[in-house]
């Protein structure tokens, strides 16, 4: 196992499809027998109460990522696919601390706000839907200004599998380029 840990950080505003695309990337890596782990950072922060000085529980999430990654690494994972909201390149230092020897590639997914709002309406409701709509618009602006990504991919009108194939093809991970043409069904 090499000391270098390729980490694919799939980011974008809420509702753009980060978790869905990261899961599709993981499925493609499974099919190619590439040792990896997939983590949705939201699940590492899902806790109550919320500290007043950390409204999105980022510090808790990074501590949990470090623990979870150590376990995945011990189990044989050599790569990490991480779905998370990245607002600034400064946020990447936390991932590097949590995943020793990480080589990060940030892929930002984008879609028009009306598309994101339609997606959110399928999974949220009430006050939660209103909050997510506001947050999506806010994050689109932040990410456009800060240009957090190494790669930018449009998701509108595309299947998660199609986007995942492009992510892997453009990431240039050795041994996974052949996945760009993988069939839509398991072998």
State pLDDT tens for residues 75-123.
999 999 999 999 999 999 999 999 999 999 999 999 999 999 888 888 8
Q: What is the span of the domain harbouring residue 20?
A: 5-172
- 103 in a structural domain: yes
Domain count, the chain: 1
- 114 in a structural domain: yes
- 59 in a structural domain: yes
| Sheet order of strands, 79-83 included | 36-40, 79-83, 5-11, 102-110, 151-154
- 185 in a structural domain: no
- Are the C-beta atoms of residues 12 and 108 closer than 8 Å to each other? yes
pLDDT at 183: 47
| Per-residue pLDDT tens over the stretch 15-28 | 999 999 999 999 99
CATH of the domain at 72: 3.40.50.300
- 181 in a structural domain: no
- 32 in a structural domain: yes
pLDDT at 181: 54
pLDDT band at 176 (very low <50, low <70, confident <90, very high): low
Average pLDDT over residues 27-53: 92
- 178 in a structural domain: no
Distance CA 29, CA 79 (A): 10
Q: How many CB atoms lie within 10 A of CB 14?
A: 22
For residue 187, pLDDT over 80 is answered with no
pLDDT at 186: 42
């Amino acid at each position: 196992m090499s000391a270098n840990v390729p980490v694919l950080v799939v980011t974008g505003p809420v509702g753009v499809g980060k978790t869905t695309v990261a899961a599709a990337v993981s499925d493609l890596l499974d099919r190619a027998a590439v040792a990896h782990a997939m983590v949705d950072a939201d699940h590492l922060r899902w806790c109550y109460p919320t500290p007043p000085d950390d409204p999105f529980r980022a510090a808790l999430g990074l501590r949990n990522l470090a623990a979870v990654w150590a376990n995945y690494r011990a189990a044989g994972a050599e790569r990490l696919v991480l779905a998370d909201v990245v607002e600034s390149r400064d946020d990447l230092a936390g991932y590097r601390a949590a995943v020793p020897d990480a080589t990060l590639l940030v892929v930002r997914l984008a879609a028009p706000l009306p598309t994101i709002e339609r997606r959110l309406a399928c999974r949220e409701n009430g006050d939660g839907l209103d909050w997510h709509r506001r947050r999506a618009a806010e994050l689109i602006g932040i990410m456009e200004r800060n240009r957090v990504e190494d790669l930018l991919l449009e998701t509108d009108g595309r299947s998660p599998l199609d986007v995942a194939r492009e992510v892997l093809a453009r990431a240039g991970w050795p041994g996974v380029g052949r996945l760009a043409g993988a069939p839509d069904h398991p072998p």
